[in-house]
Amino acid sequence: MYPILFSLGNFKIYSYGFFVALAFMAAIFYLSYSIKKTREKLIQYDELYSLFTYMAVFAILGARSLFIFVNLRDFVLYPLDVLKIWNGGLVYYGGFISAAIFTLIYAKKKKMMIFNLGDFFVPALALGHAIGRIGCFFAGCCYGKETNLPWAVVFTDKYSLAVRGVYIHATQLYESIVNFILFMFLHFYSKKNTKVPGMAFVTYLVIYATSRFIIEFFRDNCRGIHCFGFSISQIISVFLFIIGVLIIWKKKLYIKKLKGRD
């Protein structure tokens, strides 16, 4: 669509980078708002900004690393392209896993409840992801397969990363819409379901993994690694879905025990 948002002479603002930055800003503003609304503060403001900064750094490094890994052949031929992050090239799951591991280590070191942190951060995660996918759409990365459906889109900009002049699925917007809906749901769910920590987080895990697995069937850009016809993102989705379901099952057993004591 519009890979370059606007230009001032030789200075260019790339849509992808702009929306990624906007996503992180929206997430931190939402988290700041959430702290004001909660009676019992899980985390203080200064600690929130410090943790969020580290999470953002690890998320970007992880997302970029996984992208390079699944497209290794391209980067062997053009190694300097590793630095061209403004052209797209962040795999969400790489960032999610990297940031999650860091947060787990951080929570253990600070003696914080990891599931409480997960419930606190997950609505902001969905919001940021929804905004970031709009950047994908503008840049043309993560594009879909050819289709004749009424809502198909056509990319025409010469700098677009998507195939041009062909009606294709707007898979970037599919995922953005899913994440906006998830954000709205989790915003209310995480506030109402506080008896059992972690339920909001694992609910996100299961719903997002399911939606991502399905949307991947409509994506067309080759990302290098496939196993039995499934993309690396689909394989990760299956594992995260299973982990989420197992945790929910354990949480349900815990809820039953609590009810039995009442």
- Are residues 200 and 193 in contact, defined by beta-carbon separation less than 8 angstroms? yes
pLDDT of residue 194: 61
Question: Shortest CA distance to 119 belongs to which of 226, 247, 239?
Answer: 247
pLDDT of residue 6: 80
pLDDT of residue 226: 62
pLDDT of residue 260: 61
- Are residues 111 and 10 in contact, defined by beta-carbon separation less than 8 angstroms? no
pLDDT of residue 258: 56
pLDDT of residue 159: 83
pLDDT of residue 113: 85
pLDDT by residue (tens digit) across 10-45? Answer: 788 888 889 999 999 999 999 998 887 765 567 888
What pTM value is reported for the model? Answer: 0.88
- Are residues 136 and 91 in contact, defined by beta-carbon separation less than 8 angstroms? no
Burial tier of 229 (Cβ tally within 10 Å: 0-12, 13-18, 19+): exposed
Question: Shortest CA distance to 22 belongs to which of 135, 100, 126, 184?
Answer: 135
Parts of the chain with a pLDDT under 70: 38-41, 81, 84-88, 193-195, 221-228, 253-262
CA quadruple 169, 215, 30, 12: dihedral sign: negative
